[in-house]
Structure 1
Amino acid sequence: MESNPLFPVFLKLHTLHTLVVGAGPVGLEKLNALLTNSPLAQVTVVALEIIPEVEELIRYFPNVRLHQKQFEVQDLDHVNLVLAATNNEILNREIQAAAKARKLLVNFADKPELCDFYLGSVVKKGDLKIAISTNGKSPTVAKRLKEVLSESLPDDIDLALQQMAALRLTLEGDFTEKVKVLNEITSVLIENKKQ
C-alpha cells in the first residue's frame, strides 16, 4: 500500500503573491479558502466571467485585485503561487506550461494529475491550524475528518496555546531542557486520551 508522499507546509501568503485564474463557483471556493486562512494574502484574480459572490467577497479584502479579462502569460509576472479554477482544459494546459517554465507551483481545481500541490481541509481554532490531506484521493473524506476534529477539539484550545507561548518565554536553560519541561507539561493532553 502506497503512503501519502506529500510534504505538508504552511505558507505565509501575506508575503507571497497568489494568482487565481477563474472567478466562477470553484474560483470562489478557492479564493474563500485562501482568504479564510490568510486574510492578508496578496491575491490577483483573473477571469473573463465573474460571479457576483466573488465581487462581494473581495470587497472585504483590500489586498485582492480583480481583473476581468482573458488569462495571459504575463499574468504570471511577479507571482509566487497559482490556483487555476477553470473548466477549460486547453487553458489549464497553457497555465500549467507557463507556470512550469517560470518554476511556479500551481494547483488545478479537480485535476490532481496537473497539480504541484493540493489544498487540504483545514481545522482552525484560534492559532491552532490542522491541515488534512487524502493525497487527492477523497476531498469528501477530508471534509468529514475536518468536521470530526473540529467538534472534538475544545473551543478553549487557543487559550492553552497562548498560555504555553507565555510559559515558553519564561523558561531558562538550553533547548533540550526547555523541550523536556514543555513535554512534561503537555503530556496531560495524551494521558487523558489513554484512560
Structure 2
Amino acid sequence: MENQLFPVFFKLNRLRVLVVGGGNIGLEKANAILQNCAESNISIVSLDFLPELEDIARHYPNVELIRKPFSCGDLLGKDLVIAATNDKTLNYTVWEKAKGAKVLINVADTPELCDFYLGSIVQKGNLKIAISTNGKSPTVAKRLKQVLQEAIPDTLDEVLQKLHIIRDKLKGDFAAKVKQLNNITDVLVKPEKEDA
C-alpha cells in the first residue's frame, strides 16, 4: 500500500508536548523538536535523565524535567505525546493512556502505534521539507535529506523573502495573484537554454 500520510507542520510554540523517557531516545526526540522550534513547550517524564537532557532544560526555559514514573495525569493539557523509552511495556501503556485521553502519540520505533511520525527535515531558512518513508526506511529518508540539503542552495531563503514582499504588493483577487506569482517564479523551473 502506498504512503497515505497527510503531511502537517505543527506550530510547536502553541502546543504542549510530553516526552516519556529520559534516556537516549528521549534526548533524540527532544533535540529533534527543539531544532525545529526552540520555543517548544516540552515536559519530559522519567525516573532518570541523561546529563545532556539536564543541560537542555537549563538552556531552554520551556523544557521541564519531571523526575517520576509516568502516570495518566501527565497527559492533562498535552497536545502531543512521544513515548521514548526502551521499555516496550511502558511505551504500550503510554500509548493506551494517550489514546484514552485522545492525545496524538508517537511511540518510538513502533510505527503501528504512531498517530504521526517525526520525519527527516531539510531546512534552508524559511523553507522546510519533511521526508517520510511511511516508517519503512528511516535510512532512505536520511539519505534523501543529505541529497536535498546539498542540492538546495542556501540563497533560496533570500528568494523566498523577496517573493513574500512581491506577493504583499500584488493587486487583484487570489486567482490573479497566483497567476502573477506563477509567471514570476516560472524562471525557477524552466531549463536554461543552451547556446547554439
Fold conserved (TM > 0.5)? Answer: yes
> Residue deviations 1:29-81, cap 9 Å, x none?
10000000011111100011211111112322111111111111100011010
- Within 5 Å, give how 1:165-184 maps onto structure 2: 165-184=164-183
How far residue 137 of structure 1 moved from its aligned partner, in angstroms, is: 0.3
Structure 2: which 5+ residue stretches go unaligned?
Answer: none
Q: What per-residue deviation string (whole Å, max 9, x for no partner) do you get for residues 127-155 of structure 1?
A: 00000000000011100100000000001
Counterpart in 2 of 1:149?
A: 148
2:125 paired with 1:126: yes
Report what 1:136 is aligned to: 135
Q: Offset at 1:193?
A: 7.4
* Structure 1 SS opposite 2:166: helix
- Name the CA distance, whole Å, in 1 between partners of 2:187 and 2:49: 50
Distance in 2 of aligned mates of 1:138 and 1:110: 11
Report what 2:26 is aligned to.
27
- Equivalent residues in 2 for 1:26-175 (5 A)? 26-175=25-174
More displaced stretch, 59-68 vs 170-179: 59-68
Query: Which residue matches 1:188?
Result: 187
What SS does the aligned partner of 2:105 have? strand
Query: Secondary structure, in 3 states, of the residue corresponding to 1:49?
Result: coil
Normalised by the size of structure 1, how large is the TM-score? 0.96
Instruction: Give the count of matched residue pairs.
Output: 194
Which amino acid counterpart does residue 166 of structure 1 have in structure 2? Answer: I
Question: How large is the RMSD of aligned CA atoms in angstroms?
Answer: 1.3
- After TM superposition, give the deviation of residue 189 of structure 1 in Å: 1.3
Query: TM-score under structure 2 normalisation?
Result: 0.96
Q: Distance in 2 between matches of 1:15 and 1:26?
A: 24
CA distance in structure 2 between the partners assigned to 1:87 and 1:167 by the alignment: 50
Paired-residue identity, %: 55
Q: Given residue 62 of structure 1, which amino acid in structure 2 is its aligned partner?
A: P
Q: What letter matches 1:81 in structure 2?
A: L
State the distance in 1 between where 2:138 and 2:46 align. 25
